[in-house]
Chains A and B, each alone.
Chain A
């Protein structure tokens, strides 16, 4: 449980140094004391203390399941704590629902935008306010002008991209003139420009003495905008301090479990790829909605990275290859066979499978068990029987992936909805490999999963490529591509704009190409 960490403090004791205010002389806007929360037998928060001062930006980081989201939901009144208290401006308060939180000037921009799809952007932003319409509209236009975002206010929210939805959420928070603003991974779906304008906004809010809790997985952002840092691990505030007192290494160390070091070694090995062989996968002038004229090939046993910013057209390309959208031109070949415009079932049969970007909506059968989730792609061929289902074979295949991927499950009959994000992802990856594919496209395979599970996923991918499977790795995480890829492409505005050999793959090269520079 992370007891080996060097600054090891019993966080349940409110008098411990960790519990103390970072800035004792300042006022505290928000003070959280001894918060505990369990879901069934699973204790998620084990006595959390946290103080937020005006003008402070706390970067709250932690792996999945570390309890950050739960803590924020308690502050926002979505969950109620089992124990502990919350004070605002040194007054003890009872926040039993979001309305109470809003009344105390707390606003949370949730990770998943919570918009009303059938309402206009304007309605989405102004609903829930008490002020008259005209006043609200003026306020909204002023706010938009101030931060310089452009958004058609009369569009229905359902037509917005994820990034635009995120912008609407942030606008909601700004409109409320909240004193305490919680931003839960706001940048995960934003483009580079949007991230920069968000940071500008955050800086301005800081000047206005607003306290911000900023949850993120991107460590670079932490140093860019925060004044202090809190690291949560296993429901305990593992580290807390001013941003100047931390180095990047501290953060990584704070996040990783003690045994993470070994995993890295395995990854360092690189493979020998025969570039004279016939490519196993080929895109020729491939064009569809959101991308155009893509030429790309992958050789047997190769991991090819595809970098780019969100919205560059990478996922659209992958899903179009996979038979989910109309092909507008060009060809796709797997092992020399033309699979252009084939149905998903035929594409899988031809030897290509895909791990979707959106694990929850496109990957998981949450109320079904591990075995059913692992073998769902096998229903298309006869390996589980022609008509009747071969349960033994199903269990064998599933157990195989559970063992090889070190997936933590209580049994093959456990529902996957209750697993952690990393284990869920391993199951979805297992499914993609269960059909014995020649090529697998992985779309953001480690987004939203913690460092340890990430290491496991990397190890699994290395293992599979050794067995001759080729991989197209779509990722917005440049480090991931540097770590894994034998070759990399970048996509910019729907087109491949660069190809990099192994030795050319660097953060700088990828970044500048991804942003079209």
Chain B
């Protein structure tokens, strides 16, 4: 039993995806049995809508992580998108889609800047995007001060053709923003798994030097993934702003953990070189339904939900490492020997 599980964990993406699907089914069975409301399409779509920014962004952060990088600034770019749209439209009198265009250019430029520093100046991705998360959230806050509206209130009252993004429902049930997500899913899947670009991303992630020796411009590849992840933040920012009806500078600020969790849970190696869009998508659904089902069915306070998500992340990452290595016995032994040494 343990052995087959071990083999399963270390085997490959397909079997990993099966585990994720199993988790999803398990969630449906348990939550569905506990509270029939869970299975209502309208409610399910609501829960998906609530989590769409994570779904969307994690797809493209997967690309970043496959190159061996990490992007912890992308959540701050959601807020930057939102506030730029709001201020541009309300205080600078831009047409709403014009404001979206400005936000797009600004945010992708931010992604490009970070990507450039990582790829061409050889600064670690973690440090640059940490700095980026300060800088871009700070920038969002500064942009919000340009508005006559107090920043904590948020800018609202957007025109109908903007709210269309979140209001329209295909066949009366399927939200339009979900269709946007599906489109992004397809694009990300083809990009990573079917194109030469995706292959370059993968190879750069395995061994950047060998990629260079194969004639791949590894730096341009690395930089581009941060720009793509910024693009996904723009789309998520537009969708979230339309969905909530207000533009705020700190929208999405708390998404970082869920995004990284989804990517890692989806089977992407944090050291790069391996990753799966389908895995990321499945994992993000697992997390979303967990966050939706627990309060609905078991009256778990939403504030506690970081515990199950965190536990899930910790368990998965440990199980995957364990599938290729040590056990708890070594740990205890090493503790004993270190304490005995301390005495000596």
**Chains A and B touch each other in the complex, with CB atoms below 8 Å apart:** yes
Say yes or no: A362-B199 contact (C-beta < 8 A), given A368-B273, A389-B194. no
Is B202's CB under 8 angstroms from A345's CB?
Answer: no
Please name 10 further chain A to chain B contacts, defined as beta carbons within 8 Å, in addition to the given A322-B213, A345-B217, sorted by A numbering. A347-B215, A364-B207, A365-B203, A365-B206, A368-B202, A372-B202, A376-B203, A376-B216, A377-B214, A380-B216
A-B contact pairs, 11 of them (CB 8 A): A348-B215, A363-B210, A364-B210, A366-B207, A367-B206, A372-B199, A376-B214, A377-B214, A379-B196, A379-B214, A389-B194
Which residues of A sit under 8 angstroms from B209, Cβ to Cβ? 361-362
Q: For the complex, what is the distance from the CA of A387 to the CA of B273, rounded to whole Å? A: 20
Which residues of A sit under 8 angstroms from B305, Cβ to Cβ? none
Is B207's CB under 8 angstroms from A365's CB?
Answer: yes
9 closest A-B pairs by CB: A376-B214, A365-B206, A345-B215, A380-B215, A348-B215, A377-B214, A344-B215, A362-B209, A362-B213
Q: For the complex, what is the distance from the CA of A40 to the CA of B194, rounded to whole Å? A: 33
Q: For the complex, what is the distance from the CA of A347 to the CA of B199, rounded to whole Å? A: 21
Q: How large is the interface on A (under 10, 10 to 19, 20 to 34, 35 or more residues)?
A: 20 to 34
Which residues of A sit under 8 angstroms from B195, Cβ to Cβ? 387-389
Q: For the complex, what is the distance from the CA of A322 to the CA of B209, rounded to whole Å? A: 13
CB-based nearest A residue for B272? A367
Which residues of A sit under 8 angstroms from B215, Cβ to Cβ? 344-345, 347-349, 377, 379-380
Q: Does B96 contact A (CB under 8 A)?
A: no
Is A379's CB under 8 angstroms from B200's CB?
Answer: yes
Within B255-272, which residues are at the interface with A (CB < 8 Å)?
Answer: 269
Q: Does A492 contact B (CB under 8 A)?
A: no
Q: Does B306 contact A (CB under 8 A)?
A: no
Q: For the complex, what is the distance from the CA of A431 to the CA of B206, rounded to whole Å? A: 16
Q: Does B274 contact A (CB under 8 A)?
A: yes
Q: Does A354 contact B (CB under 8 A)?
A: yes
Which residues of A sit under 8 angstroms from B44, Cβ to Cβ? none
Is A361's CB under 8 angstroms from B210's CB?
Answer: yes
Say yes or no: A343-B217 contact (C-beta < 8 A), given A364-B207, A372-B203. yes
Q: Does B212 contact A (CB under 8 A)?
A: yes
Rounded to whole Å, the gap between the CB of B17 and the closest CB of chain A is 17
Rounded to whole Å, the gap between the CB of A323 and the closest CB of chain B is 9
Is A362's CB under 8 angstroms from B210's CB?
Answer: yes
Q: For the complex, what is the distance from the CA of A384 to the CA of B215, rounded to whole Å? A: 15
Q: What does DSSP make chain B's interface, helix, strand, loop or mixed? A: helix
Is B214's CB under 8 angstroms from A389's CB?
Answer: no
Q: Does A62 contact B (CB under 8 A)?
A: no
Which residues of A sit under 8 angstroms from B198, Cβ to Cβ? 389
Which residues of A sit under 8 angstroms from B210, Cβ to Cβ? 361-365, 376
Q: Does A356 contact B (CB under 8 A)?
A: yes
Rounded to whole Å, the gap between the CB of A384 and the closest CB of chain B is 6
Rounded to whole Å, the gap between the CB of A399 and the closest CB of chain B is 18
Q: Does A324 contact B (CB under 8 A)?
A: yes
Which residues of A sit under 8 angstroms from B206, Cβ to Cβ? 365-368
Which residues of B sit under 8 angstroms from A356, Cβ to Cβ? 213
Q: Does B211 contact A (CB under 8 A)?
A: yes
CB-based nearest A residue for B202? A368
Rounded to whole Å, the gap between the CB of B277 and the closest CB of chain A is 15
CB-based nearest A residue for B12? A413
Q: For the complex, what is the distance from the CA of A323 to the CA of B197, rounded to whole Å? A: 21
Q: Does A385 contact B (CB under 8 A)?
A: yes
Say yes or no: A431-B212 contact (C-beta < 8 A), given A367-B273, A368-B273, A384-B196. no
Which residues of A sit under 8 angstroms from B214, Cβ to Cβ? 376-377, 379-380, 431
Partner-A contacts on B (CB < 8 A): 190, 194-200, 202-203, 206-207, 209-217, 269, 273-274
Contact with B along A413-431 (1 / 0, CB 8 A): 0000000000000000001
Say yes or no: A368-B203 contact (C-beta < 8 A), given A387-B195, A388-B196. yes
Is B213's CB under 8 angstroms from A344's CB?
Answer: yes
Which residues of A sit under 8 angstroms from B197, Cβ to Cβ? 387
Which residues of B sit under 8 angstroms from A348, Cβ to Cβ? 215
Contact with B along A387-408 (1 / 0, CB 8 A): 1110000000000000000000
Which residues of A sit under 8 angstroms from B211, Cβ to Cβ? 365, 376
Contact of B212 among A344, A368, A385 (CB under 8 A): A344
Rounded to whole Å, the gap between the CB of A324 and the closest CB of chain B is 7
Which residues of A sit under 8 angstroms from B273, Cβ to Cβ? 365, 367-368
Q: For the complex, what is the distance from the CA of A356 to the CA of B214, rounded to whole Å? A: 10
CB-based nearest A residue for B217? A345
Rounded to whole Å, the gap between the CB of B260 and the closest CB of chain A is 21
CB-based nearest B residue for A417? B206
CB-based nearest A residue for B214? A376
Q: For the complex, what is the distance from the CA of A347 to the CA of B211, rounded to whole Å? A: 15
CB-based nearest B residue for A379? B196
Contact of A324 among B199, B207, B212 (CB under 8 A): B212
Q: For the complex, what is the distance from the CA of A383 to the CA of B210, rounded to whole Å? A: 20
Rounded to whole Å, the gap between the CB of A103 and the closest CB of chain B is 13
Within A158-195, which residues are at the interface with B (CB < 8 Å)?
Answer: none
Contact of A367 among B194, B196, B274 (CB under 8 A): B274
Is B213's CB under 8 angstroms from A385's CB?
Answer: no
Which residues of A sit under 8 angstroms from B196, Cβ to Cβ? 379, 384-385, 387-389
**Which of A376, A384, A388 lies at the interface centre, i.e. has the most chain B CB atoms within 10 A of its CB?**
A376
Rounded to whole Å, the gap between the CB of B222 and the closest CB of chain A is 15
Q: For the complex, what is the distance from the CA of A362 to the CA of B209, rounded to whole Å? A: 5
CB-based nearest B residue for A390? B196
Rounded to whole Å, the gap between the CB of B263 and the closest CB of chain A is 17
Rounded to whole Å, the gap between the CB of B296 and the closest CB of chain A is 41
Q: For the complex, what is the distance from the CA of A387 to the CA of B196, rounded to whole Å? A: 6
Is B199's CB under 8 angstroms from A389's CB?
Answer: yes
Q: For the complex, what is the distance from the CA of A367 to the CA of B211, rounded to whole Å? A: 13
Which residues of B sit under 8 angstroms from A372, Cβ to Cβ? 199, 202-203
Q: For the complex, what is the distance from the CA of A361 to the CA of B210, rounded to whole Å? A: 7
Rounded to whole Å, the gap between the CB of B164 and the closest CB of chain A is 32
Q: For the complex, what is the distance from the CA of A347 to the CA of B202, rounded to whole Å? A: 23
Rounded to whole Å, the gap between the CB of B90 and the closest CB of chain A is 40
Rounded to whole Å, the gap between the CB of A377 and the closest CB of chain B is 5
Which residues of B sit under 8 angstroms from A362, Cβ to Cβ? 209-210, 212-213
